[in-house]
A and B are shown apart, each in its own frame.
Chain A
Amino acid sequence: MDKIVRFNGSLIDKDQMFARFLANCDEAFSYFYTIFMPDLFAYGISLGADEEIVKDSIQDIFVNIHFAEKNFHSVEHLKFFLLKSLKNKLYNIYSSKRVRTAAAITDDVLNFSITTTVLDSIIDHEDRMAIQRKIDYLLSKLTSRQKEGIYLRYIQELEYSEIAEILGMSPTSARKLISRSLKRLRADQQLILIQLLY
């Protein structure tokens, strides 16, 4: 993360903001909401939750943070805490929903997915479609859990210990999950060159 960022037109020192946040400053609290809300929202939707439920859950989490002791040791720690809280909250909401709609027991409560977007500013339509298909194909080699692992590691930039907590496994297992995912993304290269189907 950058240390000094632009926010609403002025330069902000993130560490300073964080110190103010810990000291219960309202402006800093609003700042971190604005900074993290988009990531949280994206994560919630990726887990397969409903937009309104994600928004409400995020709001509840921030309300609770406002009233609680702020025991965060860094901005990154705060982000991890938020992501983890969101997943737990959504998990609870959706597992109780599940009981009500009597879904099959083998279904996961939340299913993580990755959707790829190729922005259309520079690349033409045909190429964009080809790229998107290719990336989707690549990612389809991964299980939902592996996708979540990759997303948390490479897109949300969490530590292995943090990923482990969110996915409910030991840090060693988290490492194994990521390396296995990488192997999968690398595997069958020879076969692919021959079997390109798309």
Chain B
Amino acid sequence: MQHHKYSGYRAVDFLQDEDFLRWQICQTEEDASYWRALASEDSVLRAVLAEAVDLYKESVRFNDYRLSPSEIDAGLHSLHAAIEKRSLAKSRRSFVRWTIAAACLLAIAIVTPLLLRHSSNDADISRFAQQLPAADFTAQDTRLVLGDARIISLTSSESLLRYRADGIHVDDRRVAERGASPYNHLITPYGKRSKIIFDDGTEAWVNAGSKLVYPAQFATDKREIYIDGEVYLDVARDQQRPFIVRTSKLSVHVLGTKFNVSAHERDDENTVALLSGSVRITSGGERNTVVLKPDQLYSHTEGRVSVRQVDASNYSLWTQGLYHFASEPLERILARLERHYGIPIHCDAGAAKLSCSGKLDLKDNLHTLLSDLTRALSVTYKLNSDGSYSIHQS
């Protein structure tokens, strides 16, 4: 071994020596004993060598692609948000196509070429609504976004908005003028509900996890709103101006009537339940128009349309804080409870398909409701450490 080649070496010189570098990178026994032997023979060398090792450890890095603590922190936040989102989506995705479970269906396809000029998506309001950024339904407060982008936060759990000539009133307080620019939108997060009374007297109850887009003032030839979510409407009679509800897939034309539209973007199935009056429903781009009579339920799932007889009042009871259901799969009931309370509820595959009938009072707390539900079925529920619930078949 030519150890004399190292005499006169400073620590820094060792860092340019291939043998030294290989030893430091790979730490093989062979290299280690070589250097140990050298160091034991020469104390000066030993000292410089030790210094060189420290220097190497201090200074040399491989693939040193570092992230700052704030980047890691930001990553952690983003991770938690993604987990939250998946949590909610998971319970909703285990949702089966419930048209399969339903007993007798009347499939109706009435072709009326006249009215199919525009698909639901072609309406101006639909276009506007769909280019809005995705609504955050996990936020704390209900938010009213005015045409000029001003945002008004509504903190009560059930806000009441009235559109009057002298402006917009929230919970009996005037908050803004009606404004000129076309659309306002109201985002009602999970766990909250809202009600809007439009200037024509139409009343709209907006359920949790819904986005409603509408003009500050209805046009002279029609009254049009867009929803992603669930709304129960009591439409004021106006022969001159038809009332139209647009969703991403449906158009519901109304003449003066009471009906419930359930059309969450995230749901496979959209429904319209008619309590009184008459509605005509078109699904975008398809040659399908259905006219509903009272106590009929229209259901649209992935392009398939069906109509059946129901007690339509069951579909609007949520506006009174009640929930009646007949032979509904548990996962659907849980999805509704999840939106109402704003608390994620996970459900295993076995429990999800269980068919249930019953009544729940949504003014009770979720714990009580789950306890009632699970007593009736063969399932158990538990509260998780992050505040969510899990349901298992027992």
Contacts and interface: CB of A to CB of B under 8 A. Distances in A.
Interface in B57-71: 58-67
B72 to A, nearest CB: 5
Contact of B75 (A26, A42, A59): A59
Contacts of B65: 41-42, 45-46
Interface in B29-69: 55, 58-67
A161 interface: no
Contacts of A166: none
Contacts of A25: 385
Max chain A C-beta neighbours (<10 A), residue from B66, B76, B86, B385: B76
B59 A119 contact: yes
Contacts of A30: 76, 80
Given A131-B15, A182-B28, A119 B61 contact: yes
Interface string A163-198: 000000000000000000010011001001000000
Contacts of B67: 37-38, 41
Contacts of B12: 123, 127, 131
Contact of A115 (B55, B64, B75, B90): B64
Size category, A interface: 35 or more
Contacts of B28: 182
Interface of B: 12, 15-16, 18-19, 21-22, 25-28, 55, 58-67, 72, 75-76, 78-80, 82-83, 86, 90, 385-386
12 contacts: A26-B386, A41-B65, A42-B64, A67-B83, A115-B63, A116-B61, A117-B62, A118-B61, A122-B58, A123-B55, A138-B21, A138-B22
Given A115-B64, A123-B15, A189-B19, 12 more contacts: A38-B72, A62-B79, A63-B86, A115-B63, A117-B61, A117-B64, A121-B58, A127-B12, A128-B59, A134-B21, A182-B22, A185-B22
